[in-house]
Every structure is written in structure tokens, then in C-alpha cells.
Structure 1
Amino acid sequence: MGRNEIERGRCSDMLMNEKIKASEVELTGLQGENLGIVSTKEALRMAKELNVDLICLSLATSPPPCKLVSRDEYQQQRVQEKKKERKAAQGHKTKEIRLSAYIEQHDYDTKKRQAERILHSGDAVQLCVRLEKKETQQAKELIEQLVKELGHCGRQEKGIQVSGKQVVAVLFPC
């Protein structure tokens, strides 16, 4: 654990139970209730009585804030935090949905539901209409309509891009 991590109050391995060396801590109970500032010995005694762990949340303040948590709950919370960090580090994936300028209503609804599902999962959607003949106007209108209908779950950062062979719009999750 580096000195900078301690100064910022973040440690990859949180201090637990007897590893907490402060003379007193600001204690939070199992249901999030504030128990005030108590001695570390008293906090450890309470943790043993309740058969839970005493966890130091930050080393940035004095007295350090600590919380009583069950070991299972703490482990589960750490796993969820690591998953979120990994997903944030990866960024958004962009998934492409291809459409035809002359799409039937049922197929349109299916593609719309698929785009909603992708946006709700946290990934971006690239709507792409491949052009065959002089379909540019129909393709652009189709994409505009789809972007408008997906406005509740996605936002468009750039406009609709029209190139020689396709019309594209990218939606990011809200």
C-alpha cells in the first residue's frame, strides 16, 4: 500500500478488526446508524458480540470512520465494486445494428427492442442502414425516427452521418 493511497484515504486492502491502530473511531452500526466516536477497543468488543467485522473506511480523517459489517456482506460488496471498476476501465462497447431502408414494421420493432436492451445493459449502439440505390432520404428518416423513439434510454452525441454507402447514428446509454 503506497503512501499516496493512504493520504487519499483509499487502500486496496481495507483495515479490519485488530489491524486498526487508531485509539478511537467514528463508528457506524450494521443498519447505517451513527454510533458516534468510541474507543477502538469498545468498537472491537461490539463487533465480537454481534459476530461481525469492524472495517476502516478511510484513513484520511481523524478519528477514522469505521463500520460494523458482516463478513459475507463485505465480501459481496467488494466483488461488486471490483466488477464496476473493471467495467469502467473497459469503457463502452459499441454494438452495431444493421437495418434496411425498406424495413417492415415487425422487423423495425424487433430492432428497436434489441437497441433498447443493449442501451440498458450499458453499451453503445451504432444504427447502420446500408444503401443500395437512391435510398438516402428514406434511410435518414428511418434513423431519425429510431433515434427519437430510443431517446428515453439513449442519447446521441453526434449527428446522423451519411456517407456514400451507409447512413449511421451512434447512441450512448443515458
Structure 2
Amino acid sequence: MAFSARTSVRFVLVLLSAPRPLALRTAIAARPLPPLSPLRAHSEGACRRMGSPPLAMAPPRRSRPMQKPPPRDDTPRNEGIQFDMVRVVIDVPGGSDELLGVMSKVDALSAARDRDLDLVLIGAKSDPPVCKIVSYDKFRFVKEKKKKEQQKAVKGQELKELKMSYKIGEHDYDVRKRAAEKFLGQGNKVKFSILFKGREITHANVGQQVMTRMAASLDEIGTVDSPPKVMGRQMIMTVSPKKMPGK
């Protein structure tokens, strides 16, 4: 009887240590799962088991575009100035710059520090180089402002073309002239062109006279950039607006 008990225990241990049969593993896998928590019930797999369509996934979050760093100003200033002798001017609020004279960089730096200002190089190619005693923040602000104004002026300027004939009549001439005055008044350049067809190119001298007359008519508000010239079968002249005093 004892032998049978030991045999039974040994047999049970063998069964426990042996790998589970495929049928047993399948049965275990097929056992009903415990109820899901409300949080897990929203997952895609849980929705499939519950017979409902999976919830739409949120679109991937877009990364913000990298902002351009502000432009770096490499204007030499203070100890970064590499010249021993400099000509120094000082910024005068509301007036023109005041000349302090030619001095060593050490003395110029001392003069700037006495005024709680910076020494900024503004004319490296001059002899001696020119430095200005000024607040560097103010200097950079004025410099950036001028740069933006120049870019705005170039961007806002357009090239307007007006076509004429070498045998243009007085009425058509006046129409072109008034249009040119309007464009120049708006700050735009004006391109005049005369097209010669066939043997009309032999009358290029007459076209030259028309262009010269138009340039003279616009002399008070326009400046001729390029005088009349023939390019192929076309004569071209470009006029830019004059800068008026006080503008």
C-alpha cells in the first residue's frame, strides 16, 4: 500500500513537470477572459471583442516648425575691435554725431565706459578706422530698421511697361505721358518700348527722338536709368522716380 502511494505521488509529480499537451493549452487559451476595466474597454482590441467598431485614433501630433533664430550682428565692438588707433565720433541724441578725434583703442574704450556706452566700429575701411560711442542696442535697432525699410522699398517697387510707336500721335503720346507720371508718382520704374516691324527699323532715329522727348517731359519727376538703345527690333528706355526733398 505504501508502495502504491509513493508511486502515485511520483506519477503526479511527473505529470506536473511534463509539458502540457496541445489540447490542454488550447483549452486554457479558450477560457473566457475576465471582464475588462472601463479604461481598457476603449482599446481597439476590446472594442472588437465587444462587437463594436474600434474608436478612431487621434491623428499624430504635428511638430511645430523650427523658428528661425534672429539674425546675428557681427559688427565689431568694444574689445572685439582689432585696430590700435581709431577715429572716434559720439552719438548725439537729436543731432549729428560729434567728433572726438583720433585716439588709441584703449582711450576710446575708456571714453565709452565713462558714458556707460559701447564703442562700435562703423568704418573699418577708413584710415584710421571710424568708431562710434553709442548704445549698442540702439545702434542695432537703427541698423535693422534701415535694412527693413530698404527691403520694403525694393519689394514695393514694380516695373511698368508702356509701349509706343515711332510714329505716335499727340493724343497717344499724352496718354503715355500721364500714365508714366502716375507710375513714377507711385514709386515705380517705367520701361518705354518701341517695336519696329519689318523695314521700320530704318526709322530707329525717329524712335530715338520720341524717347528723348518723353525723357525731357518727365525730367522733373523721373531720372533716365538707361538711355534709349536698340535691342533686336525693339528700342528700350527705363526711367526711375526721383527722390523728392523731404521724402
- Aligned residue for 1:134? none
- 1:158 match: secondary structure: strand
TM-score, with structure 1 as normaliser: 0.54
Q: Does 1:38 align with 2:118?
A: no
Instruction: Tell me, in whole angstroms, the C-alpha distance in 1 between the residues paired with 2:126 and 2:84.
Output: 13
Note the alpha carbon deviations across 1:104-141, whole angstroms, 9 max, x for none.
688455313224336x55x3x2224789xxxxx9x958
- Aligned residue for 1:158? 228
- Aligned residue for 2:237? 170
Seen in structure 2, the aligned counterparts of structure 1 residues 145 and 94 have a Cα distance that, compared at 3 Å, is same
Superposed, 1:101-112 pairs within 5 Å as: 101=168, 103=171, 107-108=175-176, 110-112=178-180
Seen in structure 2, the aligned counterparts of structure 1 residues 107 and 51 have a Cα distance that, compared at 3 Å, is farther
Superposed, 1:1-174 pairs within 5 Å as: 13-30=74-91, 31-59=96-124, 64-70=129-135, 71-77=137-143, 80=146, 94-98=159-163, 101=168, 103=171, 107-108=175-176, 110-117=178-185, 121=188, 123=189, 125-128=190-193, 145-152=213-220, 153-155=222-224, 157-159=227-229, 169-173=236-240
- Structure 2 contact 181–218 (Cα < 8 Å) conserved: no
State the identity as a percent.
18
What amino acid maps onto 2:227 in structure 1?
E
Note the alpha carbon deviations across 1:137-168, whole angstroms, 9 max, x for none.
9x9586564333023423251257895xxx75
* Higher relative contact order structure (alpha carbons within 8 Å, sequence separation ≥ 6): 1
Seen in structure 2, the aligned counterparts of structure 1 residues 113 and 160 have a Cα distance that, compared at 3 Å, is farther
Return the index of the structure with the highest Cα Rg.
2
Note the alpha carbon deviations across 1:8-42, whole angstroms, 9 max, x for none.
xxxx8221123225454331222433212334343
CA RMSD of superposed structures (Å):
4.6
What amino acid maps onto 1:65 in structure 2?
V
1:58 is displaced (CA, Å) by 4.4
Seen in structure 2, the aligned counterparts of structure 1 residues 154 and 56 have a Cα distance that, compared at 3 Å, is closer
Instruction: Tell me, in whole angstroms, the C-alpha distance in 1 between the residues paired with 2:84 and 2:231.
Output: 63
- Structure 1 contact 27–43 (Cα < 8 Å) conserved: yes
More strand by share: 1
Instruction: Tell me, in whole angstroms, the C-alpha distance in 2 between the residues paired with 1:62 and 1:147.
Output: 42
What amino acid maps onto 2:146 in structure 1?
Q
- Structure 2 contact 87–102 (Cα < 8 Å) conserved: yes
Seen in structure 2, the aligned counterparts of structure 1 residues 39 and 115 have a Cα distance that, compared at 3 Å, is same
Instruction: Tell me, in whole angstroms, the C-alpha distance in 2 between the residues paired with 1:109 and 1:93.
Output: 18
- 2:75 match: secondary structure: coil
* Structure 2 residue ranges without an equivalent (≥5): 1-72, 197-202, 243-247
Q: Size of the alignment, in residue pairs?
A: 150
